[in-house]
Structures are given as C-alpha cells and as structure tokens.
Amino acid sequence: MFDQTEGLDSWAIFWQGMLQAWNFNQPEALRAFQLASEEDPAAAMPFWGQAYALGPGANRCIHQLNQPILPCLLGDMLCFIVRSFSSEDGLIMGDSSNAC
C-alpha cells in the first residue's frame, strides 16, 4: 500500500492508471502502473494494477491477453513478496534495522 511509503507521486500515477483501466484503455493503464511501480518499488498496489490491466476485461477475450509480459510481472511480484516478508520478519523479531 502507499500509506507506508513515501511515494505520493506513485500514488497519483497509480490512480491515473485506474482511471485509464476503468475507461477500458488497458495499454495506457498498464504503462501507468509500471511507472508507478518504478517510482515506488515498496508499494504493492502498482503490481496489482499491472495484473488487473493484463487480465480479462469486458471488451477483451481471454486469447487477447498480453501473455509475453506475464512471466516478467510474476517475477517482479515474487521479488516484492520476498522483500516484504524479509522486512516483516525483522519487525517481528524486534530488529528495527530492516524497517522501511
């Protein structure tokens, strides 16, 4: 989420992507979500937005999905999850040096 990060620019870019997605402009939404994740790598929502923009929609069939980018996105999401869990482990164990 953005509430635990410093990425106010990332938050605005994320919402621009949401507006694009709601207006059925998934390619522009995907670009906005990718930019938001580059601006604030600690935020989870831009990764969710990328998956949302790549997924099936009202005006797209399942065979129209952008499949070549999915493995790269899944790899980025896995790296994010590993980073998140390692920082949370430090917080649980009382080690504040891993805190964001």
Is this structure's pTM higher than 0.85? no
pLDDT score at 1: 47
Measured CA distances, 92 to 2, 82, 87, 96 (Å): 21, 15, 9, 9
Per-residue model confidence as pLDDT tens for the chain (100 residues): 455 556 678 889 999 999 999 988 888 999 999 999 899 888 889 989 988 888 777 766 655 555 566 666 667 777 777 776 665 555 555 554 444 4
